[in-house]
Amino acid sequence: MRVGQNPAKSVERVAQPRDVTVAIVTYIPFLSGYYAQSLDVLKLSLSSLKANTPEPFDLMIFDNGSGEETSAYLQDEYAMGNIQYLVLSEKNLGKGGAWNFVFGAAPGEIIAYADSDIYFREGWLSRSLEIMDGFPNTGMVTGRPLRSKERYFSKTLEWARQTNGVRLEKGQYLSWEVFSEHSLSCGVSLEQTREWFQTSHDWEIAYGQLCAYAGAAHFQFVSKKQVLQSLLPFEMDKPMGQVRTLDEKLNEKGYLRLMTCDPLIVHMGNVVPAREDVLSQDSQGVNAQKLLWNWPPIKRTLLYFYNKIFQLYFERMRD
């Protein structure tokens, strides 16, 4: 039985979502080992987003089964109005499960996706939107140049070769500083990074007054919601390791995968970088600590034992 009238009936207008939803997925199960600095990395990511994004947006965070400390921090941020949409998953659904939820639920017509270890530099959103709107049939735009395998953006190259008025050039356009900044952040050794830099190349595309690089990255990108929803569902049975499915689906459907020509976002990884490094548009150099931890014998040994411990933890959490 209902007593009286619902007071909400007197409300004549409801809040409308922003055109852009910045969607971030995070997973920080505990604050030790590999994840010791991950919460601080997340905090730096969100502070850079707030400081360097003057365009209006709503922030959606999907927490993929993090521990109590991260969950409490996110709930505090939500209570203060810094997060518009907060989803706390009881268990880790994997990247595919998180994408299924986020791409399906984000209210904005444009989704700016990022993992929780991304630092946003000034101009990252405006430049990405400029490319997305200026190129036809754009599937995703990443806010920094990097190099990836051409099979994931073969349709982009095909479009560029077959379209009048498009200039496509192959060469080594990235500086060592920009290239190594990203490669080293992914845990690649300095020796391997140098080898990749010397043996790989970039594809520069000029279209009208715009310039972009061919390729993109699934850890950060801007896309239209209708494009991402056309790819659903993602069926991934592992929490990580199958994220290339997104790249493959976009390429198979003929969508362009592009990148800005300047490094407007930074992949921080699981360690908080020095403030002067991430705030500068110039890439950081290689310090002695990075060289030590990337030395193959030390890196292989530490990763072997850590992975064994984490596998045991994840199996127990899943049961």
Q: Kindly report the CATH number assigned to the domain that includes residue 137.
A: 3.90.550.10
> Is-above-0.75 flag for pTM?
yes
Which residues are 110's β-sheet partners?
Answer: 20, 224
| 65: pLDDT strictly greater than 80 | yes
Contacts of 21 (CB under 8 A, 6+ apart): 57, 58, 59, 60, 85, 106, 107, 108, 110, 111, 112, 225
User: pLDDT, tens digit, for every residue of 120-176?
Assistant: 999 999 999 999 999 999 999 999 999 999 999 999 999 999 999 999 999 999 999
Q: In terms of C-beta distances under 8 Å and separation of at least 24 residues, what long-range contacts does 307-315 make, across chains too?
A: 309/33, 310/33, 310/34, 313/29, 313/30, 314/92, 314/239
Pairing of strands 210-214, 202-207: antiparallel
Q: Is residue 201 part of a domain?
A: yes
User: pLDDT, tens digit, for every residue of 250-270?
Assistant: 999 999 999 999 999 999 999
Q: Is residue 121 part of a domain?
A: yes
C-alpha torsion sign, points 145, 151, 156, 160: positive
User: pLDDT, tens digit, for every residue of 197-222?
Assistant: 999 999 999 999 999 999 999 999 99
Q: Is residue 34 part of a domain?
A: yes
Question: Three-state DSSP class for 240?
Answer: coil
State the Cα–Cα distance between residues 153 and 143, nearest whole angstrom.
Answer: 16
User: pLDDT, tens digit, for every residue of 288-317?
Assistant: 454 455 555 665 566 566 556 655 655 555
Whole-number average pLDDT of the chain: 89
Q: Which of 45, 53, 113, 100 is nearest to 74 (CA)?
A: 45
Give the H/E segment covering residue 257. strand 256-259
- Domain hosting 144: range is 20-286
- Number of structural domains (the chain) is 1
Q: Is residue 86 part of a domain?
A: yes
Position 287 scores a pLDDT of 47
Residue with tokens 């444009």: 110
The average pLDDT across 186-204 equals: 95
Mark 246-276 as b/e (b = at least 16 C-beta within 10 Å). bbebbbeeebbbbbbbebbbbbbbbbbbeee
Q: Is residue 314 part of a domain?
A: no
Structure tokens belonging to residue 71: 């969950």
State the Cα–Cα distance between residues 67 and 30, nearest whole angstrom.
Answer: 5
- In the sheet with 256-259, reading across from the earlier edge strand, the strands are 85-88, 58-63, 20-26, 110-115, 220-224, 138-142, 256-259, 210-214, 202-207, 166-171
Contacts of 254 (CB under 8 A, 6+ apart): 137, 155, 159
* Helix 68-79 × helix 38-51 angle, to 10°: 20
Name the CA dihedral angle for 89, 95, 101, 106, rounded to a multiple of 10 degrees.
Answer: 110
Residue-by-residue DSSP string for 165-226: TEEEEEE--S-HHHHHHHHHHTT--HHHHHHHHHH--EEEEEETTEEEEE--BTTEEEEEHH
Q: Which of 283, 260, 267 is nearest to 123 (CA)?
A: 260
